[in-house]
Structure 1
Amino acid sequence: MGHELGHYSNGDTRHGLVVSTAYHSLTTWLYYFAPTARPSALDMVVNVLCVVPRLLVRGVLSLLDHLTLRATQRAEYLADREAARAASTEATVGLMDRLLTTDSVAVTLRREANNAALTGPRKARRADAGTDELWRRLAAHMTSVPEYEYERQRRVGARRGHSVDATHPPTHLRRTSLLTGTPVTAAVVTDGDREDRIAAELADARGKVARRIVRDGFDG
């Protein structure tokens, strides 16, 4: 959260009113001009008519991406600093390390979904009763990842230029930028009561996501 809020405090170009509105509008139009899968005869005609406007929107969106990329990547470094101020340098770097293991997270969730699918008639009951257990097992899995695996992932990520997406700088450069600066401690801290209230506020959303994974499977 500190990272995302940092985009607004640092004057990130893409989060400004004009550019953000333009970017959102273009991505929305690109969605509407997307071709229909398994089209009927009428859909095929519409798909053909949408080719030109879709290419135009995609071209303008690519141009906007290109013009704002440098400022956007600078904003990511600044947002990382805000995240470190909020949660500490250690926690922010630790989160970046965990982003390198997302494939392992996907495998774990897929395994949980597959196990639920094998329960047959008990699948629905398990989906309702086991939502918290799903997240506990995932947390236990992440805790079990040894430090040497994170180090291996860091080296692989640096070699391959791992990044969250095309707009973010390489993760190893973001990590190095934080570690070469002066380490900071967390400015935002919680106690047991606040953590319980946060958990209660997120309980409904957490349950819905878990039930969707268990019932419908995980394809992330």
Structure 2
Amino acid sequence: MALLGHELGHFAHGDIRYGVVTGGALRTLATWQYTLARTLVRGPMDLFTNGMTFLPRQVVLGLLLDHLSLRASQRAEYLADADAARVGSTEAAVGLMDRLLLFRTVDSELRRVSAAASMRGGRGGHEAREQAERMLWEGLAAHVGAVPEREVERLRRAGSRRGHSVDSTHPPTHLRRRCLLAGRPQPATIAYGDARLATIAAELAAAEALLARRVVRDRAV
């Protein structure tokens, strides 16, 4: 619930990166950056392709739209964090910050599941991938939940020293966490029980299945 509060908070506070003009421009730049990215060199054709896309790639990377909107974007992140605490509670919002520190653990587990599913060929391999897709999110949640608190604390300290952030547009995670803890702890304003959780799960089921299929099969390539 805290995560939903955070993401919806971007729209509530008028984050310019979510607007029609600026948001559309940023998505276009991201698409071009992905399209023009260097390819792995396996032969002369790959060298030729990288050479032909070098100048357009530098133009896309040199555009300053991302940097010009950085200050407004970071302010919007703090406001969205406040919404996460107001909707899901301060405790849940702080827990969300801790989960962001586990990105390497999550990536490693996703790669492991994908590799295990792709080791078998034929019909058995197809069934293994389908099973991995069905159980992906439940298994990932269990894996993350099993990370001991001492490891989370170690990651907090390391993240504070290294200035961990989600990406270049987000403030450092430890500063976001500190800001949440600076005020009076807030209880959740939106209660959720089994019925609401079931409704949310049903709404996200199709997107979860599609994303699981892409994660398992793309990482297996």
Please indicate, yes or no, whether the TM-score normalized by the shorter chain is above 0.5: yes
Contact 2:118 2:129 in 1 (8 A): no
Cα shift at 1:147: 1.0
Q: Return 7-16 or 66-75, whichever deviates more.
A: 7-16
Structure 2's unaligned 5+ residue stretches are: none
Contact 1:88 1:187 in 2 (8 A): yes
Which one of 146, 165, 168 corresponds to residue 167 of structure 2? 165
Tell me the residue number matched to 1:134.
136
Amino acid paired to 1:134: L
Report the equivalent of 1:15: 18
Deviates more, 1:172-181 or 1:76-85: 76-85
Q: Which amino acid aligns with 1:19?
A: T
In the other structure, the counterpart of 2:148 is: 146
Shift of the 160–194 alpha-carbon distance from structure 1 to 2, 3 Å rule, reads same
Gaps of 5+ in 1: none
Identical-pair percentage: 51
Q: 1:88-142 CA distances to partner (integer Å, 9 max, x unpaired)?
A: 1111110110110111112222222222233444121122345333332222211
* Residues 6-54 of structure 1: per-residue CA shift (max 9 Å, x gap): 1222232323343323333444444555567769999988876665554
| Farther off after superposition, 69-78 or 17-26 | 17-26
Q: Distance in 2 between matches of 1:118 and 1:40?
A: 27
Q: Is the 8 A contact 2:118 2:220 kept in 1?
A: no
The CA distance in 2 between the partners of 1:31 and 1:131, in whole Å, is: 26
How many matched pairs? 217
Aligned-residue RMSD, C-alpha:
3.0
Query: What is aligned with 1:94?
Result: 95
1:55 aligns to what? 58
Residues 1:183 and 1:30: Cα distance change in structure 2 (over 3 Å):
same
Q: CA deviation at 1:176?
A: 0.1
Match of 1:111 in 2: 112
The answer as to whether partners of 1:109 and 1:218 remain within 8 angstroms in 2 is no
SS at match of 2:153: helix
Change (3 A) 1:189 1:159: same
TM-superposed deviation, 1:174? 0.2
Counterpart-to-counterpart distance in 1, 2:201 and 2:131: 17
